[in-house]
Amino acid sequence: MIKENLAAIYERINKAAAQAGRQADEITLIAVSKRQPLAMIAEAIAAGQLDFGENYLQEATEKIKALGHQARFHFIGTLQSNKAKDAATLCAMIHTVDRLKLARELNKHAKAANRTLAILIQVNVGREEQKGGVLPEDAEELIRQMQEFCHLEIQGLMTMPPYRADPEEVRPYFAELRKLGEELQHKGLIAVHCPLQLSMGMSGDFEVAIAEGATLVRVGTAIFGTR
């Protein structure tokens, strides 16, 4: 079942990329495995899936200890500064950096672990009170303050736009994230040594996100079923 679901998602990614005139290999599928048991992740790995997304650090830690030698785990949930150590040492990439204190802690622990940590800046393009992310107009200042953190590599931006039943209504938020990412890249502030990464799009809207430039799509339900 998971194998078939993955194949269907990759098919849709290929199609969306082709329609957008993009190469499908620019796009990484992150299988969001939060609240799914280890056996489901193992099944996805057996089907060839490499990248997974987790929202809760304790759960992620257990999964990484069991399966981390066979897969990459991205952290996509809200992250407390006091949990930065495990996140910085265990995860392949942190998508949800949105404040200086958290960045400082991640940098400190990445340094202690002698690694460069790939991160994304989460931007609250929908300006929703209950959601994490820096406001678009504050992103540049945050990133400027982060330039001294040499163990963090800011590869791009991530967003969780407002929920809309019609994915077309989410398109402007994806477009805004891309525009902001390109501006910051032009200023030499992010994605200096790599192509700009844009983490956007979930089960309901990843094709629209790909049309707007997503390079990392985070798909849970359409692969693993409801949580």
Ligand X SMILES: *Cc1c(COP(=O)(O)O)cnc(C)c1O
Which residues of this chain interact with ligand X, rule CB under 6 A? Answer: 32, 34, 55, 76, 160, 202-204, 218-222
User: Considering beta carbons, is residue 35 or 186 the nearer one to ligand X?
Assistant: 35
Query: How far does Cα 82 stand from its chain's mean position?
Result: 21
Residue facing ligand X at closest CB distance: 220
Q: How far is the CB of 109 from ligand X (least distance, A)?
A: 22
User: Considering beta carbons, is residue 189 or 209 the nearer one to ligand X?
Assistant: 209
Q: How far apart are CA 209 and CA 206, in angstroms?
A: 5
Strand partners, 152: 117
User: Considering beta carbons, is residue 74 or 189 the nearer one to ligand X?
Assistant: 74
Residue 13 CA: distances (Å) to CA of 29, 108, 146: 8, 37, 33
Q: How far apart are CA 170 and CA 93, in angstroms?
A: 25
Q: How far is the CB of 218 from ligand X (least distance, A)?
A: 4
User: Considering beta carbons, is residue 127 or 163 the nearer one to ligand X?
Assistant: 163
Q: How far is the CB of 201 from ligand X (least distance, A)?
A: 8
Q: How far apart are CA 179 and CA 75, in angstroms?
A: 24
Q: How far is the CB of 154 from ligand X (least distance, A)?
A: 18
What CA dihedral angle connects 62, 216, 180 and 144, to 10 degrees?
A: 40
